[in-house]
Chain A
Amino acid sequence: MQIHGFASQGFVYTNDNNWLTMNTSQGSGAFTDFGINASTNVTDRLRIGAQLYDRNLGQLGEYHPSLDWAVVDYRFKSWFGIRGGKVKTTLGLYTDSQDLDFLHTFALLPQSVYPTDLRDATIAHVGGDIYGNVTLQHKLGDLSYTGYVGHRSDSEYSGYRYYLSSFGAQIKSYGGLQYGADLRWSTPLKGLLIGVSRMNEEITAKGSVVDPLNPGAGLVPYSEFSKADWTNQFYGEYTKGRLRIDSEYRRYWRNQEISDSTSESFADMRGWYVSGAYRICKRLQIGSYYSRYTITNVVTGALSALYPPATDTNLPANHIYDKVVTARVDLTKFWNLKVEGHFMNGYGSGPYPNGFYTQVNPQGFMPNTNALVVKTGVNF
């Protein structure tokens, strides 16, 4: 039986705009998470384990623990295994490890692709995976694949449900079918990995909302149904010695019936980043990335009058461009400290959130945000 755990504590200060649901313009330390897992190899091929996870990120999480993953994993062959239970979703390079601060150079992964406030949307599914690794003939490298199907469920303290609360929505349930696949190729060029992921979802939200067309009428039923909900992600990673370069592109397309099917929303979110990290010495790494996120949205039906088309991605409301520099110091093998600067243009506060929320910015948004993030983490 192996038992491992981790914890991290961050502090964020921004010059303008409160970020990630924290009161960062005054400096906020509401950026805490921790987890613990236990696992054991029952036989050569059978492994079981589970991890509990808890976090507080501003208005999200609020220290309500959740079962992060709990799997039974049986590997028949190198090229074929199955795992079932609550399984971390494989999507791009870091979706499944996005919470694990100690594994990354950066205090915050590029938010265009890995928005930490929206982790519940992609982090895991209750269902099953098939996976395996195949060595290609003619020295063409290795292929790893994962296919999955399951049910995604967003917690009451997740980012999107918090976003909906800005409209007075009280969501009773949010989740649905999630299925997809990932294929990654370790190429013959030493250190180069490239891959592609696809995820489809059929999401349903149910609850009530203050009638947007007649606020005086009180609460009316609210629902969302996916008509088309998919994510494509392309990625590459190159490591050579102390240098690591990553790049990913994610497109998330979301077409929904909303407000009890009286309206329809078409949202198109695209994000990409290029990052580089270099280990100067055993204890010190430096890194930088450029992250770019855009969102467009068109609403048709009854709510179209309230939500005019948002299609100009040059507007700060429809994009976030983030330049980041960071330094990571490994104080010991199991304790790290990160100092990171973010220089953001735009706040991308469209019909789907990405870090900036009106509830914590009642005065409105400024176009630029600079942020200082200091974070420390331990693991064992």
Chain B
Amino acid sequence: MKCRNLLLVAAGLAIFVSGESFADSVKVIANWSVKTDAISAADLKRLFLEERIALADGSHVEPVLEKNGPVHVAFLKYLGISEDDLETYYRTLVFTGKGSMPKELGSDAEVIAYVARTRGAIGYVSSTASAEGVKTLTVGDGEADAERKLTFSVKPVYPETLRKLNIGGTVRLRVFISAQGKVEDVRLLGGNPILAEAAVSAVKKWVYAPGRSRSIVVVSILFEGTE
């Protein structure tokens, strides 16, 4: 008789999520060469302040600015820095020989076009702009947090039809967790749609340990049919 092993892998990627007010008006985009799908606001700040030149995986990134305007102002709220302070910061780098001014472009379209064709480029545009040719990154307002612990879980039900046909695979989900630990939302990132339906139904019942703020966790669930 076949047995079912459901291997739950809470991937080590988790970030605090931000308030929705400015996240609604701006989105962070990246060239497809950028491997991550999500980035914390703290890391985003390090990249745009040129304190960091690469992501955790070692891939080089290049920040791109959109010239002063509402999108730029909204983006700076992610960084927690004012427009004037950022300007002063870049000028200090430039005039002391310790850095350079990032590329600055005039519109969403220019930013998207540049990011799309430039390896490692990371920028921001209005949330209503079409992000064709680039990837959109999820941004949080805190540090990466791989320590959000699962305290209660329900095993997904392996659909009988697929089990009999020995159809398995991995379902990847983005799980939105409240500060109290409740799963608020689950979004499918990839995997068989029927398996995904079972996975989402189970994960919605999960409970995490309370955290300091809302978090996003990427979870991979393996449906593995074996004799």
Contacts and interface: CB of A to CB of B under 8 A. Distances in A.
A44 B98 contact: no
Contact of A45 (B53, B95, B100): B53
Interface string B85-127: 1011001101111111100000000000000000010000000
A142 interface: yes
B54 A77 contact: yes
Interface stretch (A97-105, A202-210, A346-354): A97-105
A151 interface: no
A102 B54 contact: no
A44 B53 contact: yes
B95 A2 contact: no
A96 B53 contact: no
A210 to B, nearest CB: 40
Contacts of B69: none
Contacts of A35: 95
Contacts of A2: 94, 100-101
B51 A133 contact: yes
A155 interface: no
Contact of A75 (B46, B53, B91): B53
Interface string A255-280: 00000000000000000000000010
B175 to A, nearest CB: 21
Nearest to B61: A44
Name which of B51, B53, B95, B98 has the most chain A CB atoms within 10 A of its CB: B95
A103 B98 CA distance: 15
A139 B142 CA distance: 9
Given A69-B97, A133-B46, A139-B143, A379 B84 contact: no
Contacts of A44: 53, 60, 62, 120
Contacts of A96: 96, 98
Name which of A44, A69, A144, A282 has the most chain B CB atoms within 10 A of its CB: A44
Contact of B91 (A39, A100, A144): A100
Given A44-B62, A78-B54, A142-B46, A103 B94 contact: no
B70 interface: no
Contacts of A83: 97-98
B155 interface: no
A259 to B, nearest CB: 37
> How big is the A interface, by class?
35 or more
Contact of A37 (B46, B87, B97): B97
Interface in B20-76: 46, 51-54, 60, 62
Contact of B52 (A37, A69, A78): A78
A51 interface: yes
B80 interface: yes
A136 to B, nearest CB: 10
B53 A78 contact: yes
Interface in A292-315: none
Contacts of A41: 100
B88 A103 contact: yes
Contact of A103 (B54, B95, B97, B100): B95
Nearest to A40: B100
Nearest to B62: A44
A31 to B, nearest CB: 19
A37 B91 contact: no
Given A102-B91, A282-B84, A39 B97 contact: yes
A273 B95 CA distance: 25
Contacts of B99: 47
Contacts of A100: 91-92, 95-96
Contacts of A142: 46, 51
A51 B53 contact: no
Contacts of A45: 53, 60
A45 to B, nearest CB: 7
A165 interface: no
A333 B83 CA distance: 11
List of 9 A-B pairs having minimum Cβ-Cβ separation, nearest first: A69-B97, A78-B52, A133-B51, A96-B96, A88-B96, A71-B97, A139-B143, A44-B60, A100-B95
10 contacts: A2-B101, A73-B97, A78-B51, A78-B54, A102-B91, A103-B95, A133-B46, A144-B51, A241-B82, A379-B91
Interface of B: 46, 51-54, 60, 62, 80, 82, 84-85, 87-88, 91-92, 94-101, 120, 142-143
